[in-house]
Amino acid sequence: MPTVDFTWYNYKIDLRDNLTEKRKRLSSKEAIGGLEDKRAVYIITINEPFCISYPRRPSNILYIGRGAVWNRLNQGHSKWMEKLQKGLGLTFSIHFGSPRVQKTTDAYKHVEGDLIRIFIRDFGDFPLINRQSALETKAYDYSDAVLDILKAPISDSYMAGISLFLDHSIMVDDLPE
């Protein structure tokens, strides 16, 4: 298997930003292009001081996805993010990158599936907002730089763990408007 390596770009989400404002805050042309790349993977995290108490250990990861980040934020993620922001005071960051594997146009789908599979193995459950169960995986090898985001320990500045969601009995749709 080839080793997949790509750069994660990080963006602290302000739900009020339009695409022009997002582009101004990103650090490079590659990052700006990554927002619209249909073959990107991304991870949405909650910012300090909150984390999710998953069965094996806490994490700030809420969702692992694929596709054009800007479109995905506008076509659905912003709705649940707004509910969590208003209801619980959470803020978010998005980490995104464009994995490429020679002669494999669907590599981004496999990378998304592999990242979710690795997350389930390490944390004991799907990321909180992920609801899919059929994963397209390839079990690529990954550079440490790619996997570091999944392995990042929760620092002492994360004071509050959110565990009420873990049994999925309270879903984001149930939060007040």
Q: How far apart are CA 95 and CA 81, in angstroms?
A: 15
| 43-89 per-position pLDDT tens digit | 999 988 888 889 998 899 999 999 888 888 878 888 888 888 888 88
Percent of the chain with pLDDT over 70: 73
Count of beta carbons in the 10 Å neighbourhood of residue 113: 20
- What Cα–Cα distance (Å) separates residue 119 from each residue in 13, 128, 135, 164, 165? 22, 11, 12, 19, 17
Report CA-CA distances (Å) from 16 to 2, 60, 73, 78, 155.
40, 22, 12, 10, 28
Q: What is the pTM of this model?
A: 0.81
Domain that holds residue 135: 3-174
Q: Residue 24: is its pLDDT beyond 80?
A: no
End-to-end CA distance of the chain: 46
Quote the number of domains for the chain: 1
Backbone torsion region of residue 74, taken as left when φ is above 0, otherwise alpha when ψ lies between -120 and 50, otherwise beta: alpha
